Amino acid sequence: MLDINTNTYTSQDLKSALAKFKEGTEMESSKEDKARQAEVKRLFRPIEELKKDFEELNVVIETDMQIMVRLINKFNSSSSSLEEKIAALFDLEYYVHQMDNAQDLLSFGGLQVVINGLNSTEPLLKEYAAFVLGAAFSSNPKVQVEAIEGGALQKLLVILATEQPLTVKKKVLFALCSLLRHFPYAQQQFLKLGGLQVLRSLVQEKGTEMFAEEEAELTQETSPEKLQQYRQVHLLPGLREQGWCEITAHLLALPEHDAREKVLQTLGALLATCRDHYHKDPQLSRMLASLQAEYQALATLELQGGEDEGYFRELLGSINSLLKELR
């Protein structure tokens, strides 16, 4: 014990006091660490315990792969009702948006099962099968290639060419767009199978803008490698020969701004191929002049609202560029 009544401390006294102080601090720190660890254990339980609890409750933690296998089995089972099959496809569409999941679907044969679903006599099964395929094909080259080999393109075109509910054809067209997008080989097969004739009949029958976006995307690829591939597809001459110059120009009459934007993009992409036709089309000139006045007014309102580079201003710029090219 230190003598607190004296004013003199030896070096040994100081060392002893410091050691006791350090020991007390370490003990306090150790107590705090143990208390913190106990609190963490109280709030969070080990995964092994959670799995055990789930097993006791008959709850199984499934991976995405296991879920997709289960959904495919449900869809493909002859004992499943129509409602159960549709529900399985609806849930499956959510998972195949992820590129890895779509490739996993391919790895265990699930993609071909869905492709075969396009042969169903039930319109709703065709619709939801196409819905799943459109999600799986999107920006996924590996899946796109396997789909072509699995006969998806032929099945999609058959549905578009035959009498089907419009809701089915819309989903099928979505799947077709996803399959053809950024995939020149698929587009080449599409032309060989008479795809342009099928789509021309569809547009003339329904009078909709459904193909406008895809047509624009097919003709706006920018990478050198893809451009070389597109030259082998001969898409633009085929579009001209099948009357798409006239069809696309008349789609400007659609009332929706988004549809008009896609049509304007397509007109620009087809300009070199369809220039002579556009020059001789008085209806196109009148329509562009009318749209120029409409979007000039809308762009002015945007500017007054503080939008220097607004949506309508961009559309007006596209119209002005086309009019300039056609003078």
Tell me the pLDDT tens digit for each residue of 231-241: 566 777 878 88
3-class DSSP assignment, residue 106:
helix
Q: Which residue has the tokens 């449900």?
A: 74
Reported pTM:
0.70
315 in Cβ contact with 260 (< 8 Å): yes
Using a 10 angstrom Cβ sphere, with 0-12 exposed, 13-18 middle and 19 or more buried, the burial of residue 187 is buried
Superfamily of domain 42-181: Leucine-rich Repeat Variant (1.25.10.10)
The boundaries of every CATH 1.25.10.10 domain in the chain are 42-181
Burial class (CB in 10 A: 0-12, 13-18, 19+), 41: exposed
The residue among 67 and 28 whose pLDDT is bigger is 67
Tell me which H or E stretch contains 116.
helix 110-116
Pick from 326, 236, 314, 237: nearest CA to 287: 326
- Looking at every residue in the chain, the average pLDDT score rounds to 84
* Separation between Cα atoms, residue 113 and residue 70, nearest integer Å: 13
What digits encode the pLDDT tens for the residues 155-180? 999 999 999 998 999 999 999 999 99
Q: Provide the sign of the torsion angle of the four alpha carbons 291, 297, 298, 299, taken in this order.
A: positive
Q: Which two tokens stand for residue 21?
A: 């102080």
